[in-house]
Structure 1
Amino acid sequence: MEVLMRIIVFFMLKVSSAAEEVKSELRGIEGGSITFLDPVLEYGFISLERKNVAMVKEKKCDILEEIYEDRLFWNNRTGLFTLRGLQRSDSGVYGFDSKKGAVFTSSHRLTVYEPVAAPAVNAVNTVNVSAESCTLLCLVKKAGETTLLWYKDEDILNQSSSALSLPLTLHRQDLTSSCRCVAANPAEEKTLHVDVTALCGGLMDTDRHGSDTKIRSYMIIVPIVLAAVVLLGALFIRGRFFLKNKKTTTETQAEYYLPSLDR
């Protein structure tokens, strides 16, 4: 009979655990800390997956599980628990059961992530005088649960989940934009701002080369056009002068011969 009662209680606890609503989703980073916001002020428990790990009684906190020694702290003024030195094994559903004063039962799911690796950026192609673009590559040493994102100003241009690298192609008009690579997971993110002019300076050189070429072309073409205009003007003036002289000569000859005809 006693064995049967234990089995019934066990299954009731299981059903209760399954039906218990998780109040919030919490995220932490390995080595970091987190403070749970449900206060246990006078008497109660904190549990992980329904296993009590600490108990509050008579303004004192007793740690019941050795792995939480020197990591789980209770503030006797606020009644809040803080877990430090987070480990991946700390992930799970934490329950809070206050049985005196502010009586309540609540639970929160904590997920502990690896720290995000700091991103690095390299230019992956050599920009030459004929290049129209420059490709940058954002890199992380480990992907894990990391998402890589490329931002230009406030717009996301490219992104990838669980990738070790992510390319971004820039053009001349992008040289004045603010670009950054972000490595992020659900718990944290790390940002690297990119000096585009330093990594893609060849595009500026290309642009200057193109401008210099245009200037040199103008310097050659403009004098030729001016010379042609002057030459055409001179020919036009000379032509008019020639026609005028010819007309004068013709009139003079006509005046010379007309009297002889009268005789």
Structure 2
Amino acid sequence: MLIPNLTILVFFIVMNTSDMTVVKETVGGSITLPIPIIQDGVLSLNNSAIAVVLDSVSRIVDKDFREQLQWNKDSGQFTITGLQRKNSGIYKLEDTNTKKSTLYHLTVYDPAPMPGVKVSAVSSESCSLVCFVEKVDETVLYWYKGEKILNQTSTVPSLPLIVDKKALNSSYSCVAANPANNTNTLSLNFTALCSENNLIIITSDDSRTGYWWLCFVVLAVIIALFVMMIIIKRKRDRTPQGIISMTSRDSTKREEPVYTEVNVKRTNRQKRNSPELSELSPPVSNLTTVYDTVSLRHMNKTDAV
């Protein structure tokens, strides 16, 4: 009795495994399960229900999928968006009316890293280059010449290539890919790279990095010049020469006094009661001339007597 049951169990496992569809996707991507659930059915992940459809009305029962899982009422298909690594697993789509189920083995991979290239050796006849990535896990490296694959590896973080200098004018590129066929490509100009004694490292960010470094240098120079101008100006303002020059400029702004002749006019009464000016005045030789600043003032009619 035990042997037939064991045979049936093994046969059931094999049959279900052969019906499983393998799906590979990249973080941030989306998948649509092609088998529809029109009226009644269940979608589960690792034997745990995440959504149900009853009388053509869907309900998401797993709160982790409320923002990711969508059901199209017209087509009956489930779509998972914004995939993350944690969404990997075995999905089971079961139609409760027909009793048919479909399995999907989903694996979500990180995006392929951007590769870099370094020139390891240059001779008169050939040029040796190495394509590399910082993250090795689940990454495949390729060397392309045009559309043709020259070399590939998935076991080491770098992939070498030796190019004959007679073929440097061809189009070469280094490609990094993940198992979900998400790729990043670095195209290269071997003629410029493979000059004599030119051992350099090229990455996709080199041009952008150089641009930002140039902007930083220009900005630093402008700030330095501005600071120097402020320091020089302050030093000039603090020197005695600066003070003297400021004093001399202020003195030139003072107005020169204006001199005028004053005539004393006496009335008839003053003439009768006052002695002659000549009698009161001392000899001219004993007089001292004194000058003063005279300010002009407008007189009212009542003042002019």
TM-score by length of 1: 0.64
Deviation at 1:17, TM superposition (A): 6.3
Shift of the 69–13 alpha-carbon distance from structure 1 to 2, 3 Å rule, reads: farther
Residue 66 in 1 paired to residue 63 in 2? yes
Deviation at 1:31, TM superposition (A): 2.1
Please list every run of at least 4 consecutive aligned residues from structure 1 whose deviation after the TM superposition is greater than 4 angstroms: 12-19
Match of 2:185 in 1: 191
Aligned-residue CA RMSD in angstroms?
2.5
Deviation at 1:29, TM superposition (A): 0.9
Q: Deviations over 1:201-254 (max 9, x none)?
A: 449xxxxxxxxxxxxxxxxxxxxxxxxxxxxxxxxxxxxxxxxxxxxxxxxxxx
Deviation at 1:20, TM superposition (A): 2.0
Counterparts in 2 of 1:63-102, with a 5 A limit?
A: 63-100=60-97
Pick aligned residue for 2:26 from 29, 33, 37: 29
Q: Which structure has greater helix proportion?
A: 1
Deviation at 1:18, TM superposition (A): 6.7
Pick aligned residue for 2:119 from 123, 137, 142: 123
Match of 2:169 in 1: 176
Separation in 1, partners of 2:109, 2:35: 22
Secondary structure of the 1:97 match is strand
Which gives a bigger RCO, structure 1 or 2 (Cα 8 Å, sep 6+)?
Answer: 1
Separation in 1, partners of 2:102, 2:133: 38
Secondary structure of the 1:107 match is strand
Match of 1:200 in 2: 194
Separation in 1, partners of 2:117, 2:71: 43
2:107 partner letter: T
Deviation at 1:95, TM superposition (A): 0.9
Q: Percent identity?
A: 39
Match of 2:293 in 1: none
Separation in 2, partners of 1:170, 1:32: 37
1:110 partner letter: L
Shift of the 14–72 alpha-carbon distance from structure 1 to 2, 3 Å rule, reads: farther
Residue 50 in 1 paired to residue 47 in 2? yes
2:120 partner letter: V
Deviation at 1:123, TM superposition (A): 2.0
Q: Any gaps of 5 or more consecutive residues in structure 2? A: 1-7, 198-305
Paired positions, count? 188
Q: Deviations over 1:25-80 (max 9, x none)?
A: 10011222111111111111111122211001233221111211201111111111
Deviation at 1:15, TM superposition (A): 9.0
Is the 1:122–1:199 Cα contact (8 Å) retained in structure 2? no
Pick aligned residue for 2:144 from 148, 151, 176: 151
Deviation at 1:149, TM superposition (A): 1.2
Separation in 2, partners of 1:146, 1:58: 45
Question: Bigger shift: 35-44 or 20-29?
Answer: 20-29
Match of 1:213 in 2: none
TM-score by length of 2: 0.56
Shift of the 71–17 alpha-carbon distance from structure 1 to 2, 3 Å rule, reads: farther
Residue 132 in 1 paired to residue 128 in 2? no
Separation in 2, partners of 1:164, 1:124: 15
Match of 1:261 in 2: none
Q: Any gaps of 5 or more consecutive residues in structure 1? A: 1-11, 204-263
